[in-house]
Chains A and B, each alone.
Chain A
Amino acid sequence: MKELPGTRGLILNEPLLWEKGKKGRRGMSIPAADVPRAALEKELLGEGPEFPDLSEVDVVRHYTRLSQWNFGIDTGMYPLGSCTMKYNPKANERQAATPELASAHPMLADDQVQGALHLMYDLQEFLAGITGLPGVSLQPAAGAQGELAGILIFAAWHHSRHSRRTRILIPDTAHGTNPASAALCGFQPVPVKSGPGGILEARTVAELMDENIAGIMLTNPNTLGLFETQIREIADIVHAKGGLVYNDGANMNAVMGIVDAARCGVDVMHLNLHKTFSTPHGGGGPGAGPVCVTGELAKFLPSPRVIREGETCRLADGGPDSIGRVHGFFGNFSVLVRAYCYIRTMGPENLKKASQLAVLNANYLKEKLKGDLHLPYDRPCMHECVFSDARQREHKVTTLDMAKRLIDFGFHPPTIYFPLVVPGAIMIEPTETECKDDLDLFIEALKRVAREAKENPELLRQAPQRCKLKRLDETGAARRPRLCG
């Protein structure tokens, strides 16, 4: 039997910041005053916050110990479905820290920051090339903000045509952000059921689509990891009734250089640079969610955008049709730099290869595991596959139990209980950066979990055992919220 990565190891306890330190300590130097003290009105003067005073060593040990309680993609396999946890190249971190770029003030004149503007312009062009959609704004700071910008563009386009539409079609396989973004823009989401094969059917859309519907918001490949094969027909139906098509590009990692969003009939889509383009997730951000649109919709994009005139790039304010700013400056520039590096170092062939290998890895896992776990949609998948706990329920073992047991074996669990259309879903996205050896170890671990579910289910219910903490009381946390120490 192969040795799995999970084992015991020494980690250290560490209190909360304010439970340590001593008045008068300091963890960084402050320049000496070289100007006289100035007076300040007494009424304005505060007392300053109650922060602990810590030394540099206090701070360094604190965060080093905390980091050791964490698991990242650099630690091991992190097959969270829909999250694209691929390896984040170190060279990109170095370039994002380039002093000339990292120190750049966002309100300098265009001619003083040509390096940053050229990088942004080229990235806009790259993303246009990858999606087939020529209008790009890099401003949205995350996928959800890209959705917001995209749906505001829907609204602005309809407004420009004097059409007042109040509803938007959203399939049942959508990310939760989709209906939330639509609602934020004043649209009422209309759920669309996917067909028995997990695919959205054109005739269902045809039945629902009318002159009161602004368009459809779908994810392709969808959250079951399947390609929406009827997308072109669906787009034609929506367009014929005067609607627009939004594609949530969260799953772009499956189809770079393989699918052309514009040819699919997509009008607007966002990309998650922290997924497909390998910028680190940072424990929940910062991300970047550029929005890409057809030429016809480009005038509605957020303002400003970078344009090029000869050898010079400059920031151009959007015209009267632009939806306006969505970010205080130009988005998460430091994330854009990393994505730019990723695209430059991968080049066209390797980006396509990345998608091919991501899909190969997911299909390999699916084939190897379908004997052990229930596979609700047994058909070739894209970059992720969705299992469920249907076979384990007879042993009173749940998806959660299996996920927690995987932790003991040294793997981050897959996404669980999503998509909602599969009860007890286990959504696995291995990404292209896992080699066959590591995939085989993960398969071995999940097989062992499935076996234990039959033979020793209590082991799973008590998992994890090898972490700093055992299972946490999430219900209690929500019932009596303690959000501040």
Chain B
Amino acid sequence: MLAVVGKKSLEDLFCSIPGECRFEGELPLPPALNEWRLEAHFRELAKAMTVNQDFKVLIGAGSYHHHIPETIRALASRSEFLTAYTPYQPEMAQGTLQGIFEYQTLTARLLGMDVANASMYDGASALAEALLMGLRIAKKKTRVAVSAAIHPHYRQVVKTYLQTTDFELLELPYLANGRTDLSALRNQDDIAAVAVQSPNFFGVLEDLPAAGAAIHAAGALFIGCFTEPLAFGLVKSPGQCGADIACGEGQSFGLARSFGGSGLGMFACREPYIRNLPGRLVGETVDLDGKRGFVLTLATREQHIRREKATSNICTNQGLCALIAAMYMASIGGSGLRELARLNYDKSEYLKRELQKAGGKPVFDSPTFNEFVMAFDDDFQPAYRRLLEKKIVAGLELGRYYPELAGRYLFCVTETTEKEDLDEVVREVRG
């Protein structure tokens, strides 16, 4: 092959590269491991995870532990899905394309919206893109508002995305009941969009129809955000409550927590805003014989066509994660999703109630889904440490995220926690 290209050595292939640009010496990397040594190395890394899969981790806060059926691992590792690129050649990518079309459809149904895109990176960047989309739609308005009860990390990502723009970001405080205080919207007319998360970071179910009315009265678009889409198996979806854009994290649907990624940014909107959507879209069409098929569509919104005038710089989505979420939604089904959501609700209510009997006080008295914030009269740390020895991580202390909530704990209960574990937590709290 070297002879064909007229070179004497592999080094010769790079003779056009000036000496001043050359890498000097060898790459500073450890020597190669074979497959078996790699396996042994990972066993060591695994040992350094002192909280592992044997623990009951009662933390949600944007990353949830739900059972994942084996079918999903088996189907998602089919290499025709796993090792394909973005479906630029639709004739050889109908599997990906139909799979994503189905994901878009099920997601739109879940969120009560007209159209969902093929996914964003995660819930946080989806929210940032939703606010930018709101500003595009509103054209001349320059302010957006987010509830302080939205996941703190999401709000940080929003700040990052907006920092070099002239747009102004307002934060709406939360009330004593854990719901968002929308009174600051009164008499405002220059706010493009307002985002409210439900269930919010405290697990509190917002009064979304009332929030929607207040937001629309201020002439702003209503963005319904979420970190736990399972809730919509039981409670009203953002769309049913009047949201114009719905966005959030889809990790709950078949994706492992995996230290926070890969997740899935779910993103949906009402029909009139389709051409303002960021990200990839799959649409239905026909082939030359009139047979149904699917293609990437409305690409004129996107960076590779519109360049600096695109609706977003996003190129890749979280393709495989979206496909997995669709597999999960298909596996659980409509009636299954309702039953599972109900079970999650009942279990978290059970722990909330039992902790209350043991002297705990819910910090917010609004209804919650999956998660709730608890205060204890005594220092909770000793009980937390005892539970940790019993392989239970009893919630997330909130002082780091909300200084005013220092010493309060956010608990999450899903179908993966048995009643016995919950009773164990209660016993330790009683002391």
Known: A260-B21, A264-B21, A328-B123. A347 touches B98 (CB 8 A): no
A50 touches B92 (CB 8 A): no
A93 touches B81 (CB 8 A): no
Interface stretch among B27-35, B169-177, B188-196?
B27-35
Q: Closest CB-CB distance, A149 to chain B, in whole Å?
A: 8
B95 touches A67 (CB 8 A): yes
Residues of chain B with a CB closer than 8 A to A143's CB: 315-316
Contact residues of B between 317 and 349, Cβ < 8 Å to A = 317-321, 323, 326-327, 329-343, 345-347, 349
Known: A70-B81, A484-B104. A17 touches B28 (CB 8 A): no
Q: Closest CB-CB distance, A50 to chain B, in whole Å?
A: 5
Known: A51-B332, A359-B13. A74 touches B57 (CB 8 A): no
Residues of chain A with a CB closer than 8 A to B106's CB: 17, 49, 51
Most buried by A among B65, B85, B112: B85
Residues of chain A with a CB closer than 8 A to B90's CB: 469, 472, 474
A325 touches B124 (CB 8 A): yes
Once bound together, how far apart are the Cα atoms of A36 and B343, in whole Å? Answer: 9
Q: Closest CB-CB distance, B79 to chain A, in whole Å?
A: 4
Q: B82: which of A45, A176, A282, A467 is its contact (CB, 8 Å)? A: A282
B262 touches A71 (CB 8 A): no
Known: A286-B320, A348-B27. A40 touches B263 (CB 8 A): no
Q: Is A367 an interface residue (CB 8 A)?
A: yes
Q: Is B219 an interface residue (CB 8 A)?
A: no
B331 touches A28 (CB 8 A): yes
- Binary interface encoding of chain A residues 226-244 relative to chain B, with 1 for a CB under 8 A from any of its CBs, else 0: 1101011000000000000
Q: Is A377 an interface residue (CB 8 A)?
A: no
Given A50-B109, A51-B337, A472-B90; 17 other pairs, CB 8 A cutoff: A34-B418, A51-B334, A60-B75, A66-B95, A93-B82, A100-B53, A108-B393, A115-B45, A145-B121, A226-B16, A256-B27, A258-B23, A284-B86, A323-B160, A328-B260, A344-B32, A344-B38
Interface stretch among A333-341, A391-399, A444-452?
A333-341
Residue of B nearest to A45 (CB): B235
Q: Is A1 an interface residue (CB 8 A)?
A: no
Residues of chain B with a CB closer than 8 A to A357's CB: 10
Once bound together, how far apart are the Cα atoms of A51 and B338, in whole Å? Answer: 10
- Binary interface encoding of chain A residues 408-449 relative to chain B, with 1 for a CB under 8 A from any of its CBs, else 0: 000011010010000000000000000010000000000000
Q: Is B314 an interface residue (CB 8 A)?
A: yes
B31 touches A347 (CB 8 A): yes
A326 touches B262 (CB 8 A): no
Interface stretch among B284-292, B357-365, B375-383?
B284-292
Contact residues of A between 340 and 368, Cβ < 8 Å to B = 341, 343-353, 356-357, 359-361, 363-364, 366-368
Per the CB 8 Å criterion, the residue count for chain B at the interface is 196
Most buried by B among A17, A24, A227: A17
Residues of chain B with a CB closer than 8 A to A232's CB: 18, 20-21
Q: Is B138 an interface residue (CB 8 A)?
A: no
B313 touches A147 (CB 8 A): yes
Residues of chain A with a CB closer than 8 A to B294's CB: 472
Known: A115-B48, A263-B20. A471 touches B287 (CB 8 A): yes
Once bound together, how far apart are the Cα atoms of A264 and B96, in whole Å? Answer: 40
Residues of chain A with a CB closer than 8 A to B187's CB: none
Identify the 7 closest CB pairs spanning chains A and B, nearest first. Answer: A329-B260, A347-B32, A282-B320, A106-B260, A284-B319, A70-B95, A72-B83
B91 touches A469 (CB 8 A): yes
B236 touches A46 (CB 8 A): yes
Q: Is A111 an interface residue (CB 8 A)?
A: yes
Most buried by B among A56, A327, A334: A327
Residue of B nearest to A260 (CB): B23
Residues of chain B with a CB closer than 8 A to A34's CB: 418-419
B104 touches A329 (CB 8 A): no
Known: A99-B52, A232-B18. A28 touches B336 (CB 8 A): yes
Q: Is B89 an interface residue (CB 8 A)?
A: yes
Q: Is B143 an interface residue (CB 8 A)?
A: no
A115 touches B289 (CB 8 A): no
Residues of chain A with a CB closer than 8 A to B236's CB: 44-46
B341 touches A48 (CB 8 A): yes
B415 touches A40 (CB 8 A): no
Once bound together, how far apart are the Cα atoms of A469 and B286, in whole Å? Answer: 9
A333 touches B261 (CB 8 A): yes
Total A-B residue pairs with C-beta atoms closer than 8 Å?
A: 664
B293 touches A327 (CB 8 A): no
B30 touches A344 (CB 8 A): yes
Known: A229-B17, A260-B24, A323-B163. A281 touches B315 (CB 8 A): no
Known: A257-B26, A258-B22, A485-B101. A71 touches B334 (CB 8 A): no
B317 touches A284 (CB 8 A): yes
A99 touches B53 (CB 8 A): yes
Q: Is B214 an interface residue (CB 8 A)?
A: no
Residues of chain A with a CB closer than 8 A to B310's CB: 176, 180, 183
A285 touches B91 (CB 8 A): no
Known: A34-B418, A259-B21. A179 touches B307 (CB 8 A): yes
Most buried by A among B44, B88, B89, B316: B316
Q: A46: which of B124, B235, B314 is its contact (CB, 8 Å)? A: B235
Residues of chain B with a CB closer than 8 A to A163's CB: none
A284 touches B118 (CB 8 A): yes
Q: Is B159 an interface residue (CB 8 A)?
A: yes
Residues of chain B with a CB closer than 8 A to A29's CB: 67, 69
- Binary interface encoding of chain A residues 258-275 relative to chain B, with 1 for a CB under 8 A from any of its CBs, else 0: 111001100000000010
Residues of chain B with a CB closer than 8 A to A282's CB: 81-82, 84, 318-321, 323
B160 touches A152 (CB 8 A): yes
Known: A232-B20, A257-B26, A467-B91. A144 touches B314 (CB 8 A): yes
Known: A40-B367, A472-B90. A72 touches B50 (CB 8 A): no
**Could you list 7 examples of A-B contacts with CB < 8 Å?**
A67-B75, A130-B27, A144-B316, A145-B314, A333-B262, A468-B91, A484-B108
Q: Closest CB-CB distance, B21 to chain A, in whole Å?
A: 5
A229 touches B48 (CB 8 A): no
Q: B1: which of A37, A302, A360 is its contact (CB, 8 Å)? A: A360
Q: A343: which of B29, B118, B263, B302 is its contact (CB, 8 Å)? A: B29
Known: A85-B85, A142-B316. A37 touches B346 (CB 8 A): yes
Residues of chain A with a CB closer than 8 A to B75's CB: 59-60, 63-64, 67
Residues of chain A with a CB closer than 8 A to B6's CB: 367
Residue of B nearest to A353 (CB): B10
Known: A30-B340, A344-B41. A327 touches B121 (CB 8 A): yes
Known: A85-B85, A404-B91. A129 touches B28 (CB 8 A): yes
- Binary interface encoding of chain B residues 252-292 relative to chain A, with 1 for a CB under 8 A from any of its CBs, else 0: 00001111111100000000001000001111111111010
Q: Is A456 an interface residue (CB 8 A)?
A: no
Q: Is B153 an interface residue (CB 8 A)?
A: yes
Residue of B nearest to A53 (CB): B333
Known: A46-B240, A302-B160, A472-B295. A113 touches B96 (CB 8 A): no
Residue of B nearest to A329 (CB): B260
Q: A91: which of B31, B38, B94 is its contact (CB, 8 Å)? A: B38
Residue of A nearest to B332 (CB): A28
Residues of chain A with a CB closer than 8 A to B102's CB: 16-17, 485
Q: Closest CB-CB distance, B375 to chain A, in whole Å?
A: 19
B89 touches A412 (CB 8 A): yes
Residue of A nearest to B251 (CB): A328
